[in-house]
Structure 1
Amino acid sequence: MKTFYYILVLSILFISCKDKTQSKTESVEITEQTETPKVTQITAFKGQQVTGISVSNSGRIFVNFPRWRKGVNNAVVEIKNDTISPFPNKAWNSWEIGDEAEENKFVGVQSVVVYDNLIYVLDTRSALFQEVLDAPRIFVFNINTKNLEHTYILNEEAYHPNSYINDLRLDKKNNKIYFTDSGNSGLVILDLKSEKFTRVLDNHSSTEADAKFLTFGTNRFEKQIHSDGIALDTKNDKLYYHALTGYNLHSISTEALNKNNTEAIEKAVTFETKTSAPDGMIMDENGNLYFGDLEHNKINYRKPDGSIHTLVEGDIIKWADTFSIYNGYLYFTNARINEAGEDISNMEFTVNKIALAN
């Protein structure tokens, strides 16, 4: 599998771009901020590539580190002031590449989401971007007791051998959890009552990458990553999603997603607008949709009226990967995926926060 390792691991190998291909995002009209909000760095990890982040109602910060290479110290940690604590304990984080998958150990955590006092840990069960070792799953822990409350395991119909279940959003109104699959394009729905997973929009045009590459200066990021960013509008009962390698934002009503009808679901898909190429997304209580502009070191947001604005830009933004909102601030990680190679031992990956848009 060594060829698979070097081709797919990390999504970060660059090929020099000899032609002058223009970014598709140039056609997107974006309003710049007149004053640049201050970005506050919370912590930094040297040689450990942080991606996911979630902040609890009381301000507790949890982050995760996918196993895209050897040498990952922990899959999930809690940041407490200046200390880092493996969550829920060291044993759960002790799996190493080459080991067999174990029931009570994280393999490849891509996302963490805290809801009330529960943390949902999304384990792709994939390491080095290779095929899944066993079924992807969601471990649910109580953040106070650190006890495992539940494990949801995807049924065979809900994933592919090369799936990379990427991110999730909880819909308590409909007792559902929605997921994106960035490895094999599609969305997955978990019914919390029946605990059954359903796959929808499988290899659909709206979930597939709509660009062949992203452009960073004179370099190309030539990895096609499908449905990735996901955001839930609970006021309007709408789910937004976006491929990472692409510029098309789509949405679908949660009512349509609850229908057990493939044709009806596909007809309900709405193309929203062209945007920059993002990774994660999140919506605030005012209906502003936040997303990154990976190619231009920005974080943008789309207002309910459809206008797109820049929240912040510059070298402080280095592949804004995942977002969380707490107490008027947008928390985010800098994953630096376009910069990282096989050896990241001397690179720093940061956790930051910035005030939400007014």
Structure 2
Amino acid sequence: MTFKKSAAILTSALLSTSVYANEPQQVAQVKGTQITGISVSHDGEIFISAPNWRDGVKFAVAEVNTETNEVTPYPDNKYNRCVADSLVKDDCFLAVQSVIAHNKKLYVLDTRNPKFKTVEDAPRVFVINLQTNHVESVLTLSKEAYHADSYINDLRIDDKTQRIYMTDSNHPGLVVYNLKTNDSYRVLNEHKTTTAEVETLDIAGTPFENVIHTDGIALDRVNDTLYFHTLSGYSLYAINTKDINNTSSQKTADAVWEVAQTGAPDGMIYADNGNLFLANLEKRTIDYLTPAQELRTLVSGEKVNWADTFSIYNNDLYYTNSKIQDAGADVSQMHFEIFKVALPQ
């Protein structure tokens, strides 16, 4: 999120208001540090990230012990030492927005844009080996892949194409990093599908006037389909991964289709059974689009308060409540929860 002042399109007849019976269970909570990202590894390790949106952020990336509710900077204090004072150094995190655990590695997306002032140096992805807990590589974006006002927000790793797909929520567009060549580039730059559709959201009665462009992203690895969505908007788009290239911007744009009209989301994730989960920030729900293109509600209510990021582990959906609409300059007395809820069968 940024703080700044078809296949067939679903019709209203296809929308469903059915609610899944399971209640979310609180896994942990963090006091005084606003968290956005979450990812659960194949071994059940829970990693979270805290954005550099205000002074004195205690960590950028941490591992959560759910038994003790302890939060430990990860992979160590050294890599987390720069965030509190926004020190621009190559060997530590500056402004992390999200984390993804994938194939025994943790991918840490550093926007390098602390407090949304400007991109201090190239945005990058730190790759941490989860077996050794050491940073094994740093994937740095080329100058062609970002703008001075970019806020590279979320990412998905595609093993088939050996690429990483990322959203830019402050300067509309998608970013692609080629793991085979270490090249990176933008697609759909300032395109209507990556640009915010509205200027204001109503978060359960609270106006939210920050315009946020491409944010949510999800990858269907079976059908090689990448889904993306602006946060300030209601249109869910998709593109086949084979059609994402940097040789023809028009061909890439022509390959995009609108999938559905949904709520304005932040968190998004695609499940193995074909359900696409996405938040509805205004209604404080977590919804999912079924393979039959029915939009259903998984959970709603007070335990959903700006559902920011999703992760799936052991048939549960994990999510963070970042409470962006309620968080001001001082969050020292606020609690930010991690919940899990059983997936629908």
Task: Please classify the TM superposition score into its range, dividing by the shorter chain length.
Answer: over 0.9
| Equivalent in the alignment of 1:246 | 233
The match for 2:34 among 19, 36, 49 is: 49
Map of 1:193-208 to 2, 5 A cutoff?
193-208=180-195
Contact 2:19 2:298 in 1 (8 A): no
| 2:328 corresponds to which of 318, 341, 358 | 341
> Counterpart amino acid of 2:166?
F
Of 149, 172, 188, the match for 1:162: 149
Q: Does structure 2 retain, via aligned residues, the 8 Å contact 1:331–1:352?
A: yes
Query: The residue matched to 1:128 in structure 2 has which SS?
Result: helix
Unaligned runs of 5+ in 1: 1-7, 14-25
CA separation in 1, counterparts of 2:260 and 2:226? 14
Shift of 1:36: 2.6
Kept in 1: contact 2:214–2:228 (CA 8 A): yes
Task: Give the CA deviation at 1:268.
Answer: 0.3
Cα distance in 2 for partners of 1:270, 1:54 equals 28
* Mapped contact 1:33–1:312 kept (Cα < 8 A): no
> Structure 1 length normalisation: TM-score?
0.91
Is 1:58 matched up with 2:43?
Answer: yes
Matches within 5 A, 1:302-313: 302-313=289-300
Moved more, 98-107 or 62-71: 98-107
Structure 2 counterpart of 1:221: 208
Aligned ranges 1:18-29 → 2 under 5 Å = none
Distance 1:61 1:176, change over 3 A: same
Identify the match of residue 179 of structure 1 among 142, 159, 166: 166
Specify which of 93, 117, 120 is matched with residue 130 of structure 1: 117
Query: Which amino acid counterpart does residue 132 of structure 2 have in structure 1?
Result: T
State how 1:62-73 maps to structure 2 within 5 Å: 62-73=47-58
CA–CA distance in structure 1, aligned partners of residues 217 and 298 of structure 2: 19
User: Percent identical across equivalent pairs?
Assistant: 43
Q: Deviations over 1:181-204 (max 9, x none)?
A: 001000011111000001100000
Report the AA paired with residue 309 of structure 2.
T
- For residue 320 of structure 2, give the secondary structure of its aligned residue in structure 1: strand
Cα drift, residue 31 of structure 1: 2.0
CA distance in 2, matches of 1:265, 1:9: 26
RMSD: 1.9
Whether 1:37 aligns to 2:22 is yes
1:315 aligns with 2:302: yes
SS at match of 2:115: coil
In 1, Cα distance between the equivalents of 2:238 and 2:2?
30
Counterpart contact for 2:59–2:73, Cα < 8 Å: yes
The alignment partner of 2:144 has SS state of: helix
* 1:9 CA displacement: 7.6
Distance (whole Å) between structure 1 residues aligned to residue 55 and residue 117 of structure 2: 13
**2:278 partner letter:** F
Which has the higher mean CA deviation after the structures are superposed, 248-257 or 92-101? 92-101
Say whether the 8 Å CA contact 2:155–2:165 is kept in structure 1: yes
Superposed displacement of residue 106, structure 1: 0.3
Contact 2:2/2:169, CA 8 A, preserved across alignment: no
In the alignment, the residues of structure 1 paired with residue 292 and residue 279 of structure 2 have an alpha-carbon distance, to the nearest angstrom, of 19
- 8 Å Cα contact 2:232/2:264 also seen in 1: yes
Q: Give the Cα separation in 2 of the matches to 1:168 and 1:149.
A: 18
- Residue by residue over 1:300-344, the C-alpha shift from the partner in whole angstroms, topping out at 9 and shown as x without a partner, is 000011110000000010000000001100000000001111111
Residue 278 of structure 2 aligns with which residue?
A: 291
CA distance in 2, matches of 1:108, 1:99: 8
Structure 1 runs of 4+ aligned residues shifted over 6 Å read none
Which residue of structure 2 aligns with residue 151 of structure 1? 138
- For residues 63 and 182 of structure 1, do their structure 2 counterparts lie closer, same or farther at Cα, with a shift above 3 Å needed? same
Instruction: Return 5+ residue gaps in structure 2 as ranges.
Output: 6-10
* Aligned-residue offset at 1:108: 0.4
Q: What is residue 251 of structure 2 aligned with on the other side? A: 264
**Counterparts of 1:97 and 1:74, CA distance in 2:** 7
Q: TM-score under structure 2 normalisation? A: 0.94
